Amino acid sequence: MELAGASPRAVFCRVGCVLLRPAWYSARSRAVTRENGAGNGVGNDGEDAPYGAVLGEIPAEILELSESCRQFALSAVGVELDYDVETLPVLDEYLRMANAGLKDRPEAAPVVTRAVAAYFGEVVRRRMDGFWRHREDPNDEWHLCARRALLSMSPLGVVLDVMAKSTEHDGPTGELRLAPDDQRLADERLARLPPVSEEEYDLLSTRQEVIETVYETLRDRLKAEGRESLVFEESDYDDE
């Protein structure tokens, strides 16, 4: 079965819902400037360097979980994960195997899902220059927030969506959280994506491509509006 190009937005974007305020109107959103006067992740010509520099530190809990995921995958698949996006198909294979095994050991599900979510989130963070933000909620959830665009997500929610092959589960949502105007822009861009099969769509490697497409779309908009030097901080995500 083929899914139309609009399918990714059905999972990742809450169409019509105001999830985040437009933080670039806030004084807390500031231009990023290095000591030499160059913007963070910006080359000599003023354009973004490929995906910019990785900022911030990995929370100890995320590091421990993501390193556990590397060990799990190495033991199960025999291939070492190295936080490179090109190895996400290996993570997909490990998750497929682990998901099948969890039918007999459901008590292990929280360990597996959180480990995979931490690793997946860290791969995404390094690609889009983001930071981790802990949310005090029943899911004890870590969110990933972008610095160079107003975009956040729950990696755990994405992993649970993929494992369930549905958004109907007891965990957090895997949808991207965007400002209203950015949602419309993301909808338009995602609607132009080529069709993918259901099997392809339920892969973390495919989800990463969708996230990156949305991120790059938002970055292009900021550059077109002359706001490419803005950086978003944790306080800009307070209204989630």
* Banded model confidence at residue 106, pLDDT cuts 50, 70, 90: confident
Report which of residues 91 and 166 the model is more confident about.
91
Write out the two tokens for 103: 């039918």
Report which of residues 57 and 74 the model is more confident about.
74
Q: Coil, helix or strand for 184?
A: helix
Overall size of the chain counted in residues: 240
- Indicate whether 100 pLDDT > 50: yes
For position 104, what pLDDT does the model report? 81
- Indicate whether 137 pLDDT > 70: no
Model pLDDT for residues 36-70, shown as the tens digit of each residue: 333 333 333 334 443 334 445 789 899 999 999 99
